Amino acid sequence: MTTYWRPGVYREDVVLAPPAELPTGVPAFLGRAVGGAANRPERLTPGRPFAAVFGATPLGSWLAAAVAGFFANDGEQCFVVPLADGDPEAALDQGLDALATLEEIDLVCVPDLFASFTRASDLDAPLRMQNRVLAHCDAQGDRFAILDPPQGASLDRVGSQRQGLVGGKGGNGALYYPWVKPVGGSDFVPPCGHVAGVYARSDRRIGVHKAPANEILAGVVDLETALTDAEQAVLNPQGINALRAFPGRGIRVWGARTLASDPWLYVNVRRLFLTAVRWIERNLADAAFEPNDPRLWSRISRELNVYFGRLFAAGALKGRTEAEAFYVKCDAETNPPEVREAGQVVTEIGLAPTLPNEFVIVRLIHGAGGVEVAGPTPG
């Protein structure tokens, strides 16, 4: 602190640090590990890898492979939660409880979910567990689940799994198929870790509003099932996202659908709203207990308009102008006397998110005597 000796006016230049960026593409991985305390999240980075914290990988666990796949696809940070021994369903519940207060994450993966179940077993227990993961994401309201199919699943089996996933009514989850073989690996592993890395890479390159699809799966040399166009035409309408190998283009994520229908049909649309909720919770928390009057309404409106204006400028919202892309309403109409007397301040927000270009249609016009450039087709 500077000491001043005479009364007067003094100038000080203060450079304010920009507000911290809200991290996205940060998964929590739950599974089996040798080291580490059960149900205690550990933060991992490329400089603090899995082996340095948890040691050797237990037999039959895909947790380390999932984390490695995440970092292979340019993921920057993740959290790992070792699950307790014993009943798999009870262990998962405890692990999810340990994530409840973890604000840094926005993705949830459970690569070891099928570790206790053989290929011949039915789907009842794994489905209950995956629905618990989806219910956790719904309840938290700030995170998204990346789900795996059973190992060696046929199209019919993964279709049955999809029909049993009833916990994702809020659109807070997506299912990817099939399993992948990592570089240097001899076995196939669940795809969730590699896909989570694709989310992180796409977020950092463009933003959560970009669908994490038509993206290369780095660190993968093979797929357990080579899907055809006809087979994907069966999977895609069900909300099962395919991983495909294309000659000359590598292995790619070739789907971007959630487990819900409109308005949460697409992964990027749902994650855009989840990220907006996280931003609001983080940046408007200090508005609590402030006098509920027009000055507070103006402040809330101003901060939200600035935030959504930045999203519009980044291409996350559609429309020719900000007025077409979003609106924020916090005034006497949304806060009548009865609302204010209940200690509430209500803000109404409307967003028009951009949608992914899922289907590219090329019309070839044939004419016996040549073609002419015509106007728009009526209708």
Q: Which two tokens stand for residue 163?
A: 């029909």
The neighbouring-strand residues paired with 173 are 145
Given a cut of 70, is residue 378 above it in pLDDT? no
The SS3 of residue 155 is helix
Domain ranges of the chain: 27-269, 286-368
What are 46-65's pLDDT values in tens digits? 999 999 999 888 888 999 99
Given a cut of 90, is residue 104 above it in pLDDT? yes
Q: CA-to-CA distance for 323 and 355, rounded, in angstroms?
A: 18
pTM of the model: 0.89
Q: Taking the mean position of all CA atoms in its chain, how far away is CA 121?
A: 29
Given a cut of 80, is residue 375 above it in pLDDT? no
Among 77-91, 158-172, 274-288, the range of highest mean pLDDT: 77-91
What b/e string do you get for 173-194 counting C-beta neighbours within 10 Å, with b at 16 or more?
bbbbbbbbbbeebeebbbbbbb
pLDDT (mean) for 92-104: 96
Given a cut of 90, is residue 357 above it in pLDDT? no
**CATH number assigned to the domain with residue range 27-269, chosen from the 4 options 3.10.20.740, 3.40.1160.10, 1.20.1560.10, 3.40.50.11780:** 3.40.50.11780
Given a cut of 70, is residue 17 above it in pLDDT? no
How confident is the model at residue 379, as a pLDDT? 47
Query: In the chain, pLDDT over 70 holds for what percent of residues?
Result: 91
Given a cut of 80, is residue 106 above it in pLDDT? yes
End-to-end CA distance of the chain: 73
pLDDT (mean) for 190-216: 97
How confident is the model at residue 99, as a pLDDT? 97
How confident is the model at residue 147, as a pLDDT? 98
Q: Which two tokens stand for residue 293?
A: 């009057």
Q: In which order are the strands placed within the sheet that holds 107-109?
A: 42-44, 78-82, 27-31, 107-109, 144-147, 173-177, 240-246, 250-254, 215-216
Mean pLDDT, all residues of the chain: 90
How confident is the model at residue 372, as a pLDDT? 59
Q: CA-to-CA distance for 148 and 130, rounded, in angstroms?
A: 9
Lowest-confidence region among 111-125, 144-158, 201-215: 111-125
What are 263-298's pLDDT values in tens digits? 899 999 999 999 999 999 999 888 888 888 999 999
Given a cut of 80, is residue 366 above it in pLDDT? no
Q: Which two tokens stand for residue 201?
A: 């890479």
Q: CA-to-CA distance for 377 and 379, rounded, in angstroms?
A: 7
Given a cut of 90, is residue 347 above it in pLDDT? yes
How confident is the model at residue 171, as a pLDDT? 87
167 against 177, higher pLDDT: 177
pLDDT (mean) for 67-80: 97
Distances (CA, A) of 105 to 29, 48, 80, 195, 271: 10, 17, 11, 15, 12
Q: CA-to-CA distance for 109 and 148, rounded, in angstroms?
A: 9
